[in-house]
Amino acid sequence: MAWFYLVLAGIFEMCGVAMINKLHNDRDWKSLVLLTLAFGASFLFLSLAMETLPMATAYAIWTGIGASGGAILGMVLYGESRDWKRLFFIAMVLSAAVGLKLVS
């Protein structure tokens, strides 16, 4: 269950970061509320994941899902660069995360 919470926390962090960008462009209250809710949910699930997982492992994977998920989201939704270097680093993050799951 802890790993499920951790993935959920990472997904909410991605949403939160997307809302920061939206707030940057629109400056409306709705984005600010969604931003707060997304980060609130993200920290809640991260803390639930940490009840059983070691904190550095959980933190590193949470950051990794946020960064690589954000990049994937940017590629799919906003046509950001699909340069091989970006794909390579995303693959590196995801394989390290899977590795951490396997050794823990």
Partner 1 sequence: MNKYWIQVIIAAVFEVFWVIGLKHAYDFWTWTGTVIAIIISFYGLIMAGKKLPVGTVYAVFVGLGTAGTVISEILFFDEPFKISKILLILLLLAGVIGLKLVTEDDVQEGAES
Chain residues that interact with partner 1, rule: CB under 8 A: 20-21, 24, 43, 46-47, 50-51, 54-61, 63-64, 67-68, 71, 74, 80-81, 83, 85-86, 88-93, 95-97, 99-100, 103-104
Task: Report which DSSP code applies to 83.
Answer: -
Looking at the Cβ atoms of 11 and 93, the one nearer to partner 1 is 93
Task: Report which DSSP code applies to 79.
Answer: -
Q: What is the closest distance, in whole angstroms, from the C-beta atom of residue 7 to partner 1 in the complex? A: 14
Looking at the Cβ atoms of 37 and 86, the one nearer to partner 1 is 86
Looking at the Cβ atoms of 30 and 54, the one nearer to partner 1 is 54
Q: Which amino acid is at 46?
A: L
- Supply 23's token pair: 């707030």
The alpha carbons of the chain give a radius of gyration, in whole angstroms, of 14
